[in-house]
Amino acid sequence: MHAVAVFFYRGGPHAASARDACVAAIALGHNRVPPGPLGEIMLRTGFLPGTLPSDPMPLFEKWFLGARKDKVQPNPDAMVIATATPDGYPSARVVLCKKLIVDPGYVVFFTNYDSRKGAELAANPRAAAVLHWDALGRQVRLEGPIVRSPPAESDEYFASRALDSRIGAWASLQSQPLDSRATLLKRVAAEAARFGTSVPRPPHWGGYRLWPEVLELWIEGTFRVHDRARWNRQLEPVGDTGFKAGPWHATRIYP
Ligand SMILES: Cc1cc2nc3c(=O)[nH]c(=O)nc-3n(C[C@H](O)[C@H](O)[C@H](O)COP(=O)(O)O)c2cc1C
């Protein structure tokens, strides 16, 4: 059976004819790269497999490692993380996704536990995250509960950071009011003098593990006919530090 597709297009550098779009639709129905401009874009961005994998994490990891390796996307680790107060006021900011663990499936970022995001996560330990690799035409969305990293994970990453960044973690009262930049620089100088080159991890600084119970992979298509699928799973809390994960369920969704 052939896939039926309707293509909306606006022209531009990759403008194609309606006929191109129909040829592409038929090729997509056979899970092939279509000829013409649509095919060129698909070869650049790739596309989701016709039969969705039961577990999206290996594909997510492939995209993530590919984005790091290709070096066409500045800051491939950049991840927007959204938190919310218990009464539903959301806030979002960029952090760096420093780890992606395929099995059992979570991502890790590091921050100040006393920051605004830290306070919101303490009161409402759930988050949504987005990684967007513009140059690759790909987006990954995650939603789920968050737990703090075990201290050893935070220690290990902290020790790998540059000396200035380790001093900065002590000097910055992240998200608190600051009267002037001079005050911050004085604090940096004071912490540098206090610790020298041996800087331990501050107790208020460490990792968070975001465990997706919803994960979406998105690939840019021409004519806004993007390729999109969502996976869901159930997470059962195990102590304060993790979850027992049920199987993923995949659903292709309209773009
Ligand atoms: C590219 C980029 C990467 C960033 N990485 C981090 C990070 O890994 N951890 C962090 O705490 N803040 C990071 N920041 C700063 C945050 O966006 C934010 O300003 C800070 O965490 C305070 O947020 P909050 O007040 O909402 O808690 C990054 C900002 C940018 C633009």
Ligand 1 pocket: which of 93, 97, 99, 146 to mutate (most atoms within 8 A of CB) = 93
The DSSP line for the chain is -PPP-------STT---HHHHHHHHHHHHTT-PPSHHHHHHHHHH----SSPPS-SHHHHHHHHHHHHHH--SSSTTEEEEEEE-TTS-EEEEEEE--EEETTTTEEEEEEETTSHHHHHHHHS-EEEEEEEEGGGTEEEEEEEEEEEPPHHHHHHHHHHS-HHHHHHHHH--TTS--S-HHHHHHHHHHHHHHHTT--PPPTTEEEEEE--SEEEEEE--GGG--EEEEEE--EEEETTTEEEE---EEEE---
pLDDT at residue 2, rounded to an integer: 35
38 pLDDT exceeds 90?
no
**Could you read off the pLDDT of 169-183 as tens digits, one per residue?**
999 999 999 999 999
Q: Residue 161: CB within 6 Å of ligand 1?
A: no
> Could you say which architecture CATH assigns to the domain 52-252?
Roll (2.30)
Verify whether ligand 1 is closer than 6 Å to residue 96 (CB atom): yes
Q: pLDDT tens across 121-174, in order?
A: 999 999 999 999 999 999 999 999 999 999 999 999 999 999 999 999 999 999
Reported pTM: 0.86
Q: What's the mean pLDDT in 228-254?
A: 95
- Indicate whether residue 110 lines ligand 1 (CB < 6 A): yes
Residue of 75, 83, 95 with the most ligand 1 atoms within 8 Å of its CB, for mutation: 95
Domain ranges of the chain: 1-45, 52-252
